[in-house]
Amino acid sequence: MGNEKIEELEQIVKSSIGKEAYNKLLIEHEKIKAEHKSSNNELLKIANLVAPSEGNLKLVFPKILELFTRTIDLEKDVKFSFSIVRSELDRNGTINTKCPAEESGKKELYKHIQKCLSVIGTYNSEFNGNQVETRNAVMEFQLSNNLKVDGIIGKNTWASIIIKFEQEKLD
């Protein structure tokens, strides 16, 4: 995309949301870049949105804003899910994903586990709190990381999930 297209897009964004909001958007973008060491994936997604539109950049802006908002929301949501799982581990020492979600009231906890596993590429379905899907994803993660395959999230499994998450953030 040429510089004039980028400048045109910047002007559309500034005029659509105002200069102050645009500057806040830039600051948030810089924070995300700093946290993730690289925003190449996000930039590629934005470039892919812009490229097919050619001359009609006004149609692209809502998509870019939605993508940006979803990225921030997902980041917050994932951090929250990691903290929920960690709190449960602190309270009980382990999480046995063999317990039926409906009987044990663990459906919400299983949703958070699914979110944590999705970030590291081990779970690729809807976050529905399904016990069988959660257990299978945990066991798949354990198997692929040479851990004891029992569906129980203990200190070794959790430490491996955290390590994998940190590696994903750096990539």
- Rounded to whole angstroms, the Cα distance separating 123 from 6 reads 36
pLDDT at 1 > cutoff 50: no
Core vs surface per residue 119-146: b (16+ CB within 10 A) or e: bbebbeeebebbbebbbbbbbebbeebe
Average pLDDT over residues 20-38: 62
All domains of the chain in start order, with CATH: 3-73 (no CATH), 93-170 (1.10.101)
pLDDT of residue 133: 96
pLDDT of residue 45: 52
Average pLDDT over residues 104-116: 89
- CB neighbour list of residue 17: distance below 8 Å, 6 or more residues apart: 25, 65
pTM for the predicted model, two decimal places = 0.58
Share of the chain above pLDDT 90, in %: 37
Share of the chain above pLDDT 70, in %: 55
- Rounded to whole angstroms, the Cα distance separating 127 from 117 reads 10
Residue with tokens 């066991």: 139
